Amino acid sequence: MKIENFDKEVLREYDIRGIVGDNINENTAYTIGRTFGYTVLNRLKSNIIATGYDGRLTSPDLHQALCEGLKDSGAKVINIGIGPTPMTYFAHYHLKADAVIMVTGSHNPSEYNGFKMVLNKHSFYAHDILSLQKLIDQKKLESIEGEIIHKDIKQNYVDRLLKNINLNKKIKIAWDVGNGAMGAVIKEVIKNLNNSENILINDKVDGNFPNHHPDPTVPKNMEQLISIVKEKNCDVGLAFDGDGDRLGVVDNLGTLIWADQYMLLLCSEITNLYKNPKIIMDVKCSKVFFDEAKKLGCDPIMSKTGHSPIKEKMKELESPLSGEMSGHVCYADDFFGYDDAMYVALRLLRILCSQENSLSELINVYPKTFSTPETRFDVDETKKFLIIDEIKQRIQKKEVKIIDIDGIRVENDDGWFLMRASNTQNQLTCRAESTTQEGLKSLIGIIENQLSLSGVNYKFTI
């Protein structure tokens, strides 16, 4: 293996990600090891780095190459093996490591893979990621002999997840692991979860994802779980993405409960633990969330999308809870402040078991709206940000309220819509919400027209 230049398209905002065999290979992984290891050593004068990998077919080989690169940077590498991304984050604290790297393609299609990094308990993203190429250009890398050791922390991770989690009444839960990496630990979790009856599907880790793609924000991927919840009369259905840092929820009636809805239930508990807690949510979330969170006694703050910047914002504002429409939810209350979908699921179950009403009844107290799901569609990678800039320039000429902290969120008399470029894929993301069906159709018409003016032909189905 050798050090080589990065393809410019793989150095993303939040992580390094690309298509294996096209712009990511074992040399890429080795190079990440050499450059990240150098960075850790030079910033901290110490170089203990924990690593893990998900269940994708290409992850073991990429992980091995990564570890070799880290070792050749002089690092003491602690390989914790296969598991969800949050378990690797947990290793940062449990093993007192200086940094961690997770090999994962997250929710991307199966041909993708990538790397998520944390340095000294802070997200390693944006300009930090771009700095890795500069180290290659400056020829600063030298070979230093390190070591690789193996450590199994699965039981330690499970024990920490279940700490302070006690369900005070019986609850029936359907779990859909989506054949993702959470399958490496979920049986141990539910075995020790009191007062629970558990139905487990797609729990075998399989990088072919034979049953459905592991992305719980896509309704068709939740159809199997919805059927199980209805058929078995479950109280709740819970689903994970491929690397276990995003949570999807289905209520007792088989209705999808989006993150900006179940976050309100999480807020209802947090507001009893903190005075006017700052709760961070991204620009894709419903206006209902921001309005209702205020009524609960929280201080909701709108943020740009992205688990990395949101985690950093949490530290800055000392926020106990944050989330994204995509299902990344981070707890700093009684936890570490990173996105762990299993921990969020356990907190949600604890809340449900403290209530007399069902999940559907708890959600139905909030105002009803008509909305699109988080809608993503492919565009040319080199044009995605230009398209949003063009649309922003046109819309600025109209008499509407524009929030431009991340893409453009536009509010008018019908409601609001969001258009933004994905930082992780060659896609645009759009969402619209209104208090009426006609208002929603009007907002969708604006989105489709603006896309058309920028050469993108996309039609929504609602």
User: Active-site residue 106, yes or no?
Assistant: yes
Do 156-363 and 370-453 come out as alike in CATH topology? no
Rounded CA-CA distance 434/224 in Å is 29
What CATH number has the domain spanning 16-152? 3.40.120.10
Domain ranges of the chain: 16-152, 156-363, 370-453
Question: How many H-runs (helices) and E-runs (strands) does the chain carry?
Answer: 14, 22
Q: Looking at 106, 268, 322, 434, which residue is catalytic?
A: 106
For residue 281, how many other CB atoms are within 10 A of its CB?
Answer: 26
Is residue 342 scored above 70 in pLDDT?
yes
Is residue 109 scored above 90 in pLDDT?
no
Is residue 424 scored above 80 in pLDDT?
no
Rounded CA-CA distance 178/285 in Å is 24
What secondary structure does DSSP assign to 271-316, as a single string?
TTTSSS-EEEEETTS-HHHHHHHHHHT-EEEEE-S-HHHHHHHHHH
> For 135, what's the count of Cα atoms within 13 Å in the CB-facing half-sphere?
24
| Helix residue spans in 376-436 (DSSP H) | 384-395
Burial of 220 (0-12, 13-18, 19+ CB in 10 A): exposed
CATH class of 370-453: alpha beta
Rounded CA-CA distance 37/69 in Å is 8
Is residue 192 scored above 70 in pLDDT?
yes
pTM comes to 0.93
Rounded CA-CA distance 390/400 in Å is 16
pLDDT at 462: 67
pLDDT confidence of 422, banded at 50, 70, 90?
confident
CATH topology of domain 156-363: Alpha-D-Glucose-1,6-Bisphosphate; Chain A, domain 3 (3.40.120)
* 315-325 confidence digits (pLDDT tens): 999 999 999 99
* 52-69 confidence digits (pLDDT tens): 999 999 999 999 999 999
Is residue 423 scored above 80 in pLDDT?
no
